[in-house]
Amino acid sequence: MLTNLTIALDMMGGDYGPRSSIPAAVCAVNAHANLTLILCGNEQVITNQLESLDSLSHPRLIIRHCSEVVTNACEPALAVRSKKDSSMRVALDLVKSGEAQACVSSGNTGALFFMAHYVLKMLPGVKRPALISAVPTERKNPVYLLDLGANVHCDSEILYQFGIMGSVVAGQALGCDNPKVSLLNIGSEDIKGHEGIKQAAQLMQQSPYINYTGYSEGSDIFSGKADVIVCEGFVGNVALKTCEGIAKLIMKKFTSALEKHLIYKCMAFILSPIIKKLYNRVNPDQYNGASLVGLRGIVVKSHGNASAKAFQAAIDEAVKEVERQLPDKIAAIFEKTHSKNSAAE
């Protein structure tokens, strides 16, 4: 564990802005004694929120005033060119300068992707960054799904690189040397899928850095048959949002049914510890925080509609990634692949 951690937060992004990010920041510094947070955003707004929580004088909450905000309607290219004093841009600049070791934002996903790419640059050999996040499974360990929307279309080489990066992330998070990597496809048979998927499968099979186990169907995501599932960003984003929607629907229907009759309410009271444990297991909030891997710095994307609890989960994810030093580990693998390719030529 590192002695001191400093993380920059985009306080103004997302649907709720400081209403969720400020309480999350206060809880995070209270939970991590070695954590300092730089709060990037409108100083007056942040000050008022901190005062309401009696945390304005907290020594590990530092306010960095920003005069601009990247809204959800802002075009990514416009955000990069004209929002240089936005809370999102300042948070990324702090990572680039080394003043912060990671940043967290729940703001405009497209703008964050373009801005992070522009400010931090790619790791050597990496073509495109990818969003990766943990998803609960039937087993004890989650599965890591990527890409979740940073790249709508991907060729075979990019999917192969996602497999390498996903393997590093899962290996560090799960503590295993050879995490199982799978490609999301319309079927598990080798003949299924378009040519890009088939070519990516061949690249993964031939790679000494990927423990490739074959294709996975959508129904396999939660089975735990793989530790990493690789897909294009469009497919991954739809899959993730569908999973979250189904989880919320089931819990809503379940709790609604328990409230209809007195006998059901009594049963719910008796079973409340089990119900709470089940809810916590599938609650999307605890899995909030998708990492933008492949960059020369750590960037964690929170849901735009994240609650304070969910935003804190994203901060916790950033803390873990700083401690694991993921960019360095990913860079080391790509350096090996480059050396091997150069020797082969």
Cα distances (angstroms) measured from residue 318 to each of 128, 275, 326: 20, 29, 11
Which pLDDT tens digit goes with each residue over 158-201? Answer: 999 999 999 999 999 999 889 999 999 987 777 777 888 999 99
- Is 268's pLDDT higher than 80? no
pTM above 0.75, yes or no: yes
- Is 345's pLDDT higher than 60? no
In the three-class reduction of DSSP (H, G, I as helix; E, B as strand; rest coil), residue 204 is classed as helix
Q: What is the mean pLDDT of the chain?
A: 88
Check residue 1 and give its pLDDT.
58
Which pLDDT tens digit goes with each residue over 59-98? Answer: 999 999 999 999 988 999 999 999 999 999 999 999 999 9
Which pLDDT tens digit goes with each residue over 193-228? Answer: 788 899 999 999 999 999 999 999 988 888 889 999
According to CATH, the superfamily of the domain at 1-126+294-325 is: Isopropylmalate Dehydrogenase (3.40.718.10)
- Is 283's pLDDT higher than 60? yes
Strand (E) or helix (H) holding 257 = helix 233-258
Confidence of residue 241 (pLDDT cuts 50, 70, 90): confident
Contact of 302 with 108, CB cutoff 8 Å: no
Domain with CATH 3.40.718.10 in the chain: 1-126+294-325, 128-287
Residue 59 has, within 13 A of its CA and on its CB side, a CA count of 2
- Is 279's pLDDT higher than 70? no
Which pLDDT tens digit goes with each residue over 118-174? Answer: 999 999 999 999 999 998 888 888 999 998 888 888 899 999 999 999 999 999 999
- Is 342's pLDDT higher than 60? no
Check residue 280 and give its pLDDT.
64
Tell the CATH topology of 128-287. Isopropylmalate Dehydrogenase (3.40.718)
Cα distances (angstroms) measured from residue 105 to each of 9, 111, 121, 189, 249: 6, 11, 18, 39, 27
Check residue 329 and give its pLDDT.
93
Sheet holding 298-301, edge to edge: 61-65, 35-41, 5-10, 102-105, 298-301, 290-293, 130-135, 143-146, 228-230, 180-184, 211-216
Distance CA(96)–CA(8), nearest Å, equals 11
Distance CA(93)–CA(70), nearest Å, equals 15
